[in-house]
Amino acid sequence: MRRPRGNDAVSVPTLITHGAHVNTITPNQIVALAAAPRRAYATLYASTFAFMVCFVVWMMFGVLGIQLRDELGLNSTEFGLLTATPVLTGAVMRLPLGAWTDRFGGRNVMTVLLVICAVPVYIVSYATQLWQFLVIGLFLGCVGASFAVGTPYVARFFPPERRGFAMGFFGAGAVGAAVNLFITPSLQAAYGWRMVPRIYAVVLLLTAAGFWLVAARDPGAGKAGGSLRQSFQVLRDPRVWRLCQYYSITFGGFTALSLWIPQYLKAEYGMTVVAAAAVAAGFSLPGSVLRAVGGVLSDRHGAHAVTWWGLWVAWICLFLLSYPKTDLVIYTIDGTWTLHLYVSMLIFVLLAFVLGAVFAFGMASTFKYVADDFPQNMGLVTGVVGLAGGLGGFLLPILFGALLDIFKIRSSCFMLMYGIVWVSLILIYLSDIRKSRLA
């Protein structure tokens, strides 16, 4: 039998569709189909790495802010504002960047974003006053919006049954929060804090060049259909706002605590900045890496089950973390007993690890919802949901600082999170669980 050459057709019996007619594909098409998985995974890896770099830069004030707090004489509220300002623009810009990703493609948008954000990152090294850090932080924070670019971009390279994994794997780029806790203190100790943003600016430019060379063209670019105004009609769907609620808890809580925990450990347990950042990675690391696991669990068991049970575990962890150091005196007939209640460092690290893991599962399950319910508008819906999560990450550190200034209780940050999760569980029960039982 003669081997096919050039563009000779090759019969594919499994593609018979009408009677005796056999559909055919050329060898060039076979090569293209074989190369598709390689392109998909290369794009996934490149996008995840770019997102990780963005997250390192986005979270750097959580470490640099500890020294800046002493240099600038900031109170807890001002410190919370300093660390949270980049999170604000990282949240707000997710909506337009998600829409632009649907229009112009993830490869183009991500590359431009990395290049542009290198400028304000470099300028941070020249700031000397709080208002300067806040203004520059607003522009620097755009790197946090890279999530709304990469999530729909990588999802379009995979079939529906694998999109939970793909988006979870990409979301694992949030490991940049943990990488920041390891690298930034070391760079700061070796070269001084002003050199850190300069190094990160160069890294952003190198990442942009590498990403452009490795990532593939977005197969869904320009296919959203209709005008941009028509695309925004999807925001009338109440399911979108329910997903915003879920993500504001999981991602918002993860981001806020990633910024807050290093200084919490320094004040509560007397750690150095380097040691506090390393221990804080016990929260940030699982909250990043395990997003891929959360995506797989969502593919297998459904997004709702993962979200519901994950929030219950978070509720228990936050209840234990919120308990402040307490001496409890009990009067008995033989005298008094004194109980010393506190969360030791070991227990704190274990609870933080579990909390980070369930937040990771919740983040992944939320975007499994997006891929299942809004396949034609993933970029826009991802932007809206990401905006809600980012706003949570912006507001919570400021509220943490205000509560600490008012009540003087360090664990008040966990008390606030505990209350938010508790209210959210009630709302999810009323809107989902109870409704399904009455149907």
Mean pLDDT of the chain: 82
Least confident window among 248-257, 313-322, 404-413: 248-257
Q: What pLDDT, on a 0 to 100 scale, did the predictor assign at position 436?
A: 59
Band (300; pLDDT cuts 50, 70, 90):
confident
Domain count for the chain: 1
Whether residue 278 is predicted with pLDDT greater than 90 in this model: the reply is no
Q: What is the pTM of this model?
A: 0.67
Q: What pLDDT, on a 0 to 100 scale, did the predictor assign at position 107?
A: 92
The answer to the question of residue 63 being in a domain is yes
More confident: 341 or 232: 341
Q: What pLDDT, on a 0 to 100 scale, did the predictor assign at position 104?
A: 87
Over range 158-173, report the average pLDDT.
82
Least confident window among 120-124, 314-318, 390-394: 390-394
Band (20; pLDDT cuts 50, 70, 90):
very low
279: CATH: 1.20.1250.20
Over range 154-165, report the average pLDDT.
82
Least confident window among 27-36, 160-169, 189-198: 27-36
What 3 state SS string does the chain have? CCCCCCCCCEECHHHCCECCECCEECHHHHHHHHHHHHHHHHHHHHHHHHHHHHHHHHCCHHHHHHHHHHHHCCCHHHHHHHHHHHHHHHHHCHHHHHHHHHHHCHHHHHHHHHHHHHHHHHHHHHCCCHHHHHHHHHHHHHHHHHHHHHHHHHHCCCCHHHHHHHHHHHHHHHHHHHHHHHHHHHHHHHHCCCHHHHHHHHHHHHHHHHHHHHCCCCCCCCCCCCCHHHHHHHHHCHHHHHHHHHHHHHHHHHHHHHHHHHHHHHHHHCCCHHHHHHHHHHHHCHHHHCHHHHHHHHHHHCHHHHHHHHHHHHHHHHHHHCCCCEEEEEEECCEEEEEEECCCHHHHHHHHHHHHHHHHHHHHHHHHHHHHHCHHHHHHHHHHHHHHHHHHHHHHHHHHHHHHHHHCCCCHHHHHHHHHHHHHHHHHHHHHHHHHHHC
Whether residue 371 is predicted with pLDDT greater than 70 in this model: the reply is yes
Q: What pLDDT, on a 0 to 100 scale, did the predictor assign at position 228?
A: 56
Over range 152-157, report the average pLDDT.
87
Least confident window among 11-15, 259-263, 419-423: 11-15
The answer to the question of residue 337 being in a domain is no
The answer to the question of residue 314 being in a domain is yes
The answer to the question of residue 329 being in a domain is no
The answer to the question of residue 139 being in a domain is yes
The answer to the question of residue 305 being in a domain is yes
Print the domain residue range for 249: 40-318+345-438
